[in-house]
Structure 1
Amino acid sequence: MILVFGGTGFVGSFVSSRLSSVDEVVLAVRRPGRSEFRQVSFSSQNEIPGLIAGLNPDVVINFIGVLRGDYSTAHVEIPKLISLGAEEINARLIHTSALGADENSEIPYFRTKALGEKAVRKVKSHAIVRPSLVLGAGQRIFRQALRFRVFPKVTARVQPIDLRDLAELYLRLIDSKNGTFNACGEEVVPLGELLDNVLKRAGKRVFLVPFPKAIARALGKVDKSLLMALKDSVCAHNHAREILRNLRPLEESLLWTAEGLR
């Protein structure tokens, strides 16, 4: 059995569908909803270790994460509890982090992601996945841009990975070695340019507003999360390419993402 936390989100739901081809998938959720998978619920995060022990899965996978909000709970406290539960029953734990995770980062998102990784590394059998921007139908950043009809022309570079390739990476890591695995595609592109490219393919228009780095730094003094617009998300060492060998071309991923916006 594979127990999945965060299995109802953009990445988690798609990967869970792929995982079901190799084993039974069970979703751990706060509030049960419509799903093709069996669901088990927990009302308090403190119930997580007991929930894991009761189900006794072979593999636990965590996709929980937030771009804004309570970083400490989502990225530190919950991974600690999941790690504790996995360690108690000797299950393999695959944890989703982020490129740029760094305990010394001034950006809360990256700092808390790194703190969460520390707990995961205490589990005997573990893998930490650090993806760049993930492309696919349902990627929230494009839908938000369409909602507001305006988006900053961010120059920070991303090395986007196709959601289908990312799902294949999780499948490979179920029986793989311990370690931290960077997950990127083959090409590097500025985020603003990428967004414009996808939306044009979808036949949509969004006004891209210049977003100088000086303005981002000034706004970042008030809200540190805005400094993420200055940080590249690229792989110095792309483990996804090493493990999968063949990654989808960026053009194919852009078209697939655009189809979900039409």
Structure 2
Amino acid sequence: MILVFGGTGFVGSFVSSRLSSVDEVVLAVRKPGKSKFRQVRFSNPEEIPGLISRLNPDVVINFIGVLKGDYATAHVEIPKLISIGAEEIKARLIHTSAFGADENSGIPYFRTKALGEKAVRKVKSHAIVRPSLILGPGQRIFRQALRFRVFPKVTARVQPIDLRDLAELYFRLIDSKNGTFNACGNEVVPLGELVGNVLKRARKRVLLLPFPRTIAKALGKVDKSFLMALEDNVCTQNHALEILGSLRPLEESLFWTAEGFR
């Protein structure tokens, strides 16, 4: 059995479908909803170790994360509790972090992601996946751009990975070695240009506004998440490519993503 936390989101739901071809997938959720997978409920994080012990899965996968909000709970406390439960029953743990995770980062998102990784590394059998921006239908960044009809022309570079390739990486890591695995695509592109490209293909009108670094820095004094717009998210070593052998061309990923917004 594969027990998945965060399995109802953009990434978790897609990867769960891929993994269900080889084993039973069970979703651990706070609010049960419509799903093709069996769901087990937990009310608060403290219940997580007991839940894992009771279900006794072979593999535990964590996709829980937030772009804004309670970083400490989502990125640090919950991974610790999942790690405790997985280690207690000697299950393999695959944890989703983020490319750019760094304990010394001034950006709370990246700092807390790194702190969560520390607990995961204490699990005897573990893998930590660090994706760059993920392309696929339903990606939140494109939904938000469509909602407001504007998006900043961010020049920070990303190396987006196709969600289908990412799902295959998780599949390969089920029986793989321990370690931290960067997951990026084949090509590097400025974030603002990427958003504009996808929505143009989707035949949606969104205004790309100039976003000078000075403005991002000023906004970052109020909300440090704005500082992410200044950070390149580019792999120096791309483990996804090493493990999978090949990745989908960016052009194909852009087309697939745009199709989901038409």
TM range (shorter): over 0.9
Q: Deviations over 1:137-159 (max 9, x none)?
A: 11011011001001110000000
State the match for 2:234 in structure 1.
234
Matched residue, 2:73: 73
Work out the CA distance in 1 between the residues paired with 2:216 and 2:206. 20
Displacement of 1:117: 0.1
Percent identical among aligned pairs is 86
Partner residue, 2:14? 14
**Alpha-carbon offset, residue 100 of structure 1:** 0.5
Aligned to 2:211: 211
Moved more, 185-194 or 217-226: 217-226
Aligned position for 1:61: 61
Indicate whether 1:89 and 2:67 are aligned.
no
Unpaired segments ≥5 residues, structure 2: none
Which residue does 1:149 correspond to in 2?
A: 149
Q: Shift in Å at residue 168 of structure 1?
A: 0.1
Equivalent position of 1:28 in the other structure: 28
CA distance in 2 between counterparts of 1:150 and 1:196 reads: 10
Aligned AA (1:54)? R
CA distance in 1, matches of 2:48, 2:28: 9
Structure 1 residue 218: deviation in Å? Answer: 1.1
Superposed CA deviations along residues 46-104 of structure 1, whole A, max 9, x for unmatched, are 00000000000000000000000000000000000000000000000000000110001
Q: How far apart are the structure 2 equivalents of 1:223 and 1:18?
A: 36
RMSD between aligned residues: 0.4
Could you give the per-residue CA deviations for residues 154-187 of structure 1, whole angstroms, max 9, x where no partner exists?
0000000000000000000000000000000000
| Distance across 2 between alignment mates of 1:214 and 1:85 | 45
Unaligned runs of 5+ in 1: none
Letter in 1 for 2:5: F
User: TM-score scaled by structure 2?
Assistant: 1.00
What is the distance in 2 between the residues matched to 1:95 and 1:233?
19
The one-letter code sitting in structure 1 at the alignment partner of 2:110 is F
Corresponding position of 1:225: 225
Alignment of 1:111-190 (within 5 A): 111-190=111-190
> Structure 2 CA distance, aligned partners of 1:150 and 1:204?
11
Number of residue pairs the alignment of both structures matches: 262
Aligned to 1:40: 40
Task: Give the TM-score normalised by the residue count of structure 1.
Answer: 1.00
- Runs of 4+ in structure 1 off by over 6 angstroms are none
Distance in 2 between residues matched to 1:246 and 1:110, nearest whole Å? 28
- Local SS of the residue matching 1:130: strand
> CA offsets, 1:102-129, max 9 Å, x none?
0010000000000000000000000000
User: What amino acid is the match of 2:230?
Assistant: L
1:3 and 1:215 mapped to 2: Cα distance?
Answer: 43
Structure 1 residue matching 2:67: 3-state secondary structure: coil
1:246 and 2:246 correspond: yes
CA distance in 2, matches of 1:139, 1:218: 27
Kindly state the Cα deviation for residue 214 of structure 1 after the two structures are TM-superposed.
Answer: 1.0
